[in-house]
Amino acid sequence: MTKRFMNPKGKILVPVNLDESSGPLLKAAGQLAKRTGLSLSVVHVSEYWVGRTWPTEMMLGGPMGGLVSAVEDETMDVALSKLKALVQTHMAGLNPSTDVLLGYPAESIRAHAVTIGAELIVLGGAAEDYKYVPRGLSTVLGLMADAPCPVLVLPRGNPGVWDKKPLRAVLADDLQKESDNSVLVAYEWVSALGDTELTHVHVNQLSKDDLKDALTSAAAASHTPEGALDLNTVWTAAMKSVETKLAERAPGRKHLLEARGGKVKTLLLQGEPVESILKLAEDNKADLMIFGRHRTWRRKPFAVGQLPFHSMLRSRRPVLIAEH
């Protein structure tokens, strides 16, 4: 199992579009930086000029190549001025680094995160942003599916208030071995936030009726006498086993969270995962929902896992995707 520990000298990477949503996003990222003690790196990606096509790239040393480079340089200079003005307005008292990158957004942000050793990428997004684009997924989904560090998506209109105490968070855990590291990373981030009430939840999709049918089939196949397996006894034992496994997740990290002033409780729910998680988040007035990243590439919108994808799509709450 891969283990990962937060670097106290790490950075929070904040890509912005320079539009009206940038202000709330920068303000929220600034609150996160103050709360965690991490530094900030704010970037804007200036996409390749429309004139940069394969033929012109082949002629970068010629007249057309010079025109392409000049247009891109001027665009990047203008973008950097706007970026610095936004940072000065919405991040007063902080001293983030600012950069303008040239390239395709998801690829450029991913590479920059590796270069600076980012501990978190904070993105602004909305339901309508989670869609197909000519190069594959939207920037938000592309980074959520394959970023080198955790990704925090803040919905437009609800970036969250990150200096409030306590924060309330819901961590969804499928209890699979592949999710072990995601759970550890999630606990480290919640611990870094300090005074946070974390509900660590697993949603059991097995119903009592399904278990009854399975026991009946097993008894018939093994010629076990009818009534030898008591349904209630087996159900109680099965649920107890799941509760024990949930309580034993993230060894040592719960103490880390409590030492930072946080609280944690484990909860076993029954039913359909998306509905159960969304109802729990609503009932708890959660400030943050946390999911592990699953590499299910059969259909692109679910590259980050069907549970986090649908939860994001239907909830206007910030979502943290912990790395795989």
What CATH number is attached to the domain comprising 184?
A: 3.40.50.620
Looking at the domain assignment, is residue 1 inside a domain? Answer: no
Residues 273, 172, 151, 26: what is their CA dihedral angle, to the nearest 10 degrees? 90
Ordered alpha helix ranges (H), the chain: 22-36, 54-57, 63-90, 105-116, 139-146, 180-193, 208-221, 231-247, 253-259, 273-284, 306-314
Whether 263 and 229 share a structural domain? yes
Q: Are residues 134 and 258 in the same domain?
A: no
**Final residue in a domain of this structure, among 129, 163, 197:** 163
Residues 112 and 187 reside in one and the same domain: no
Mean pLDDT, rounded, for 172-192 = 89
CA 73 to the chain's CA centroid:
33
Of 123, 142, 163, the last residue of a domain is 163
Of 114, 144, 163, the last residue of a domain is 163
- As a whole number, mean pLDDT of residues 131-135 equals 51
pLDDT tens across 167-176, in order? 999 999 988 8
Same domain, 155 and 185: no
Amino acid at 250: A
In total, how many domains does the chain have?
2
Q: Confidence class of residue 113 from pLDDT cuts 50, 70 and 90?
A: very high
Range of 229's domain? 164-324
Asked which of 181-190, 222-231, 256-265, 310-319 is least confident by mean pLDDT, the reply is: 222-231
Overall size of the chain counted in residues: 324
Reading the block at residue 248, the tokens are: 């034993």
Name the pLDDT band for 43 (thresholds 50, 70, 90).
very high
pTM: 0.83
Are 191 and 123 members of one domain?
Answer: no
